[in-house]
């Protein structure tokens, strides 16, 4: 075979080999491309599946607690009892026995006023009053006896003048009647001529004289009776006058007033407490407000209640109190009184801003909240914040208002139920609500128990979503 033909055959053979190699390489490239495409699709599907899980959802794990319905008020710390000790006497102060901060008991002497002249006046008035009272008593006894004697004589017809006058009347009456009979008898004798006219005339004169004596005796008797009655009235008047004089306590009252003023020269504490103000100065007149005493062991809060809240607050309700000095420490108290009328004036300068802010809600009512236990960090004059508890329940489940879903079927919650290791499924749980506070509400219903995971903001997901909980 010619050499040229041999070379041609080799060249053709090489071309076939190259074609075969190209075909093999082309097939492997296609397979590799398919593998890459499959891997990419798989990764894409995994990514799409992963992206459907919502991450960072805030939740709350349910557990039992308590809930309170409160009214928030502001107020000022006051002592439960305070007293301004003052004097109306101008006597000079000669001694001051206490200073600010001293604790005193009711009746303790705080200061002493000069009582020298007053003591002398009292001594003289005492002697005069005692003597006058003794004289008045003697006069009363004498006039009483005189009145009783005169009354007895009058009522029992034992008055001597009356008795003598009555005897005279009786005697004159007998003589008058006797002379009258003789005269009439002689008139009859004159008709029969037994006596003369002159004799009859004499009998008539005797009769008329007897009648005149009788009339005079009657007048004397009436005068005696009038005189006796006047004597009785005089005795009675004297007795009543003596009674009035004896019962006149003006001198004794004046003396007692001086004695009280003497006692007032010792300025005494009116209540138990702590001296918080001293205005008394030795050498100054004693009149005016000298001391202030406050019971700092029993303090209370004078709080301002809005008109809109007045109906809900009652005496006996508990309160939780905070101040700037005590921070988050809760101080407990109780409402002990509520003013029956609105107080349009400020309770204190510290509550002015609060009252002006709340002006549109109506006038304020003053309530007193007694602090249950002493607290060394609370001082009179401090401003406070208090929650007056209207109602309270414990050992219940509560959640935030924001966690509740409301629709036509009622109220429900979105809860997270675990599906995989780090994933949860959103489900809806119907609930009933109860007592409410400013931020939380009591819940109950089937399926609610300790450990139930409540989604805080149901707007961040929907029922059926897969979620990852923040912090888990």
Domain ranges of the chain: 3-51, 56-67+394-469, 70-78+295-393, 89-113+266-288, 119-255
Between CA 183 and CA 175 the distance in angstroms is 12
Q: Cα dist. 367→26, 303, 313 in Å?
A: 96, 5, 9
pLDDT (0 to 100) of residue 349:
42
Q: Which residue has the tokens 């008139």?
A: 187
pLDDT (0 to 100) of residue 224:
92
pLDDT (0 to 100) of residue 20:
63
pLDDT (0 to 100) of residue 109:
93
DSSP codes, 257-274: HHHHHHHHTEEE-SSSEE
pLDDT (0 to 100) of residue 3:
53
Contacts of 382 (CB under 8 A, 6+ apart): 76, 77, 323, 324, 325
pTM: 0.49
Between CA 288 and CA 80 the distance in angstroms is 24
pLDDT (0 to 100) of residue 355:
43
Find, among 76, 75, 71, 74, the residue nearest to 308 by Cα: 71
Low-confidence ranges of the chain (pLDDT < 70): 1-32, 34, 36, 38-52, 344-363, 471-472
CATH code of domain 70-78+295-393:
2.40.30.170
CATH code of domain 56-67+394-469:
2.40.420.20
Asked if CATH classification 2.40.50.100 holds for the domain at 89-113+266-288, the reply, yes or no, is yes
């Amino acid at each position: 075979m010619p050499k040229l033909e041999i070379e041609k055959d080799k060249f053709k053979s090489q071309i076939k080999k190259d074609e075969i190699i190209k075909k093999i390489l082309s097939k492997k490239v296609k397979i590799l491309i398919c593998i890459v495409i499959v891997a990419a699709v798989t990764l894409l599907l995994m990514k799409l599946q992963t992206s459907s899980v919502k991450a960072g959802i805030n939740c709350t794990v349910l557990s039992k607690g308590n809930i309170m319905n409160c009214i928030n008020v502001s107020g000022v710390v006051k002592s439960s009892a305070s007293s301004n000790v003052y004097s109306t006497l101008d006597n000079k102060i000669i001694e001051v026995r206490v200073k600010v901060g001293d604790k005193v008991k009711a009746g303790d002497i705080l200061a002493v006023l000069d009582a020298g002249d007053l003591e002398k006046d009292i001594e003289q008035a005492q002697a005069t009053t005692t003597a006058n009272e003794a004289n008045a008593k003697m006069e009363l006894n004498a006039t009483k006896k005189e009145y009783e004697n005169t009354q007895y004589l009058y009522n029992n017809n034992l008055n001597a003048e009356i008795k003598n006058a009555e005897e005279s009347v009786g005697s004159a009456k007998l003589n008058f009647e006797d002379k009258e009979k003789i005269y009439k008898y002689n008139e009859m004798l004159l008709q029969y001529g037994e006596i003369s006219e002159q004799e009859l005339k004499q009998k008539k004169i005797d009769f008329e004289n007897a009648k005149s004596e009788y009339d005079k005796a009657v007048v004397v008797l009436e005068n005696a009776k009038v005189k006796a009655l006047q004597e009785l009235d005089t005795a009675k008047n004297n007795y009543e006058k003596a009674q009035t004089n004896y019962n006149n306590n003006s001198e004794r009252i004046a003396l007692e007033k001086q004695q009280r003023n003497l006692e007032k020269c010792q300025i005494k504490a009116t209540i138990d407490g702590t001296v918080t103000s001293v205005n008394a100065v030795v050498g100054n007149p004693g009149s005016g407000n000298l001391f202030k005493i406050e019971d700092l062991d029993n303090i209370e809060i004078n709080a301002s209640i809005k008109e809109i809240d007045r109906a809900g607050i009652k005496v006996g309700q508990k309160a939780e109190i905070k101040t700037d000095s005590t921070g988050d420490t809760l101080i407990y108290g109780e409402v002990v009184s509520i003013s029956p009328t609105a107080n349009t004036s400020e309770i204190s300068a510290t509550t002015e801003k609060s009252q002006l802010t709340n002006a549109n809600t109506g006038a304020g009512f003053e309530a007193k909240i007694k602090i249950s236990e002493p607290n060394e960090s609370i001082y009179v004059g401090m401003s406070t914040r208090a929650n007056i508890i209207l109602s309270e329940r414990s050992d219940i489940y509560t959640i935030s208002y924001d966690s509740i879903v409301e629709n036509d079927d009622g109220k429900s919650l979105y809860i997270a139920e675990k599906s995989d290791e780090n994933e949860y499924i959103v489900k809806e749980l119907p609930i009933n609500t109860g007592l409410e506070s400013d931020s939380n509400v009591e819940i109950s219903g089937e399926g609610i128990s300790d450990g139930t995971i409540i989604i805080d903001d149901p707007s961040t997901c929907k029922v059926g979503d897969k979620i990852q909980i923040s912090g888990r």
